A = this chain, B = another copy of it.
Amino acid sequence: MVQPEPEPQSGEDLLIARYFRPLATHPGARALVDDAATFTPPAGADLVLTTDALVGGVHFFPDDPADTIARKALRVNLSDLAAKGAKPAGFLLSLALPETLGAPWLEAFARGLGADAKDYGCALLGGDTVRTTGPLTLSITVFGTLPQGTMVARSGARPGDLVVVTGTIGDGALGLEVRRNSGTAECWRLDQRQREHLLGRYLLPQPRNALAEALRQHASAAMDVSDGLAGDLRKLCAASGVAAEIEVARVPLSEAARQALARDPALIETALTGGDDYEVVATVPAGAKDALMAEAKAAGVALTEIGIIRVDCPGVRFLDQGGKPLLFKKASFSHF
């Protein structure tokens, strides 16, 4: 009289089994068939935890490829771990799905997520999948580990420290402009490669996890640049009680961004205050700069010195080549 075999399963169970169980390679994920996951922290480790939500039509375009939506959702979280000097350990995914997204979409989504989970050594440990009448909404909570008490905080910058930034700044915000308005690339006289570079940088962040250990060892403060270099650096300075002086000419720009700025110099404000960079801005004591630079080079992560920390009221001063400060209308992206 027992219910017939094979065990009847709900649609939710089947969805999890089909798309997400193959990603749950960590034993603590228990093949996603328990209420919770387990994780045994390494002895002497702190957990570093962060969560980021992405909403269709707000953080990505609803018609962006499913695999890049998944990867972006994971990578924006990984970027936080990178800035804190933590090693990725695992993540949990909450997925609110509109009815319009069917099997092919889910299959591509899971494929992208699985590829990045593997590449970044960050296993899927659990999740929840629900229906929504609204846009696709994803929330990922990621956690990493590092030796106890060694997280790179925002609050450690000291006068005399140098300010460094990874990669290039502004590509994400400029890429969003190109994505929003197809005439933009032509207006900026971008060639095909430059256009694709900017679009790609908006679509898929490149978190700097390869630099995490070097930051942990040498940086006095760090944060990931997600809402614009100007506003994010201002937050770091506020937390540290210091001022930063940035030479705009030293801020690293991609060839595509330089081309856009050559056509419209006012775009420097977009580059410095727009979101979606997912680079790391850090401060480093002068004596540790060479070691950090050498380790960045070994890790294959471009790292550029852009300024210095001063004793002053907390804030950021961006100086042009004549030493004159730039003033921005709005320092950073905010939802509210």
Does any Cβ of B come within 8 Å of A235's Cβ? yes
A296 to chain B, nearest CB (A): 19
Closest B residue by C-beta to A35: B80
Bound: A316/B86 CA distance, A: 45
Q: Tell me, yes or no, whether A11 is within 8 Å of chain B by CB.
A: yes
Which of the residues B40, B125, B151 comes within 8 Å of A38, measured between beta carbons?
B151
A93 at the interface (CB under 8 A from B): yes
Q: Which of chain B's residues has its CB closest to A39's CB?
A: B47
B33 near A239: Cβ-Cβ < 8 Å: yes
A131 touches B94 (CB 8 A): no
In this complex, the member of A57, A86, A139 whose beta carbon has the largest number of chain B beta carbons within 10 angstroms is A139
Main secondary structure of the interface of A (DSSP, over half): mixed
Contact B313 A55 (CB under 8 A): no
A30 at the interface (CB under 8 A from B): yes
Does the CB pair B81–A148 fall under 8 Å?
no
- Contact status A53-B94, CB under 8 Å: yes
Residues A93 and B51 in contact, CB atoms below 8 Å apart = yes
- Give Cα A231–Cα B128 distance, bound, in whole angstroms: 17
Which residues of chain B are near A5, meaning CB under 8 Å? 313-315
Q: Are A234 and B7 CB-contacts (below 8 A) given A34-B239, A94-B139?
A: yes
**Interface pick from A63-71, A180-188, A190-198, A327-335:** A327-335
Rounded to whole angstroms, the CA-CA distance of A234 and B4 in the bound complex is 12
Q: Provide the residues of chain B in CB contact with A153, threshold 8 Å.
A: 30, 34
B49 touches A39 (CB 8 A): yes
Assess A336 versus B10: contact at CB under 8 Å? Given A51-B94, A51-B127, A58-B132.
Answer: yes
A334 in contact with B10 (CB, 8 Å):
yes
Assess the A137–B132 pair: CB atoms within 8 A. Answer: yes
Does any Cβ of B come within 8 Å of A46's Cβ?
yes
Which residue on chain B has the smallest CB distance to residue A151? B38
Query: Do residues A134 and B131 form an inter-chain contact, with CB atoms below 8 A?
Result: no
Is B129 touching A335 in the complex (CB atoms < 8 A)?
Answer: yes
Q: Which of A12-20, A162-170, A252-260, A262-270 contacts B (4 or more CB under 8 A)?
A: A12-20
Are B36 and A50 neighbours in the complex by a CB distance under 8 Å? yes
A-B contact pairs, 9 of them (CB 8 A): A3-B315, A3-B331, A12-B336, A30-B153, A33-B239, A35-B50, A36-B48, A49-B126, A53-B128
Interface string of A317-331 (1 = CB under 8 A from B): 100000001000001
Taking CB atoms and an 8 Å cut-off, the chain A residues in 119-165 that contact chain B are 125-135, 137, 139, 141, 143, 148, 151, 153-155
> Does residue A214 face the partner (Cβ distance < 8 Å to B)?
no
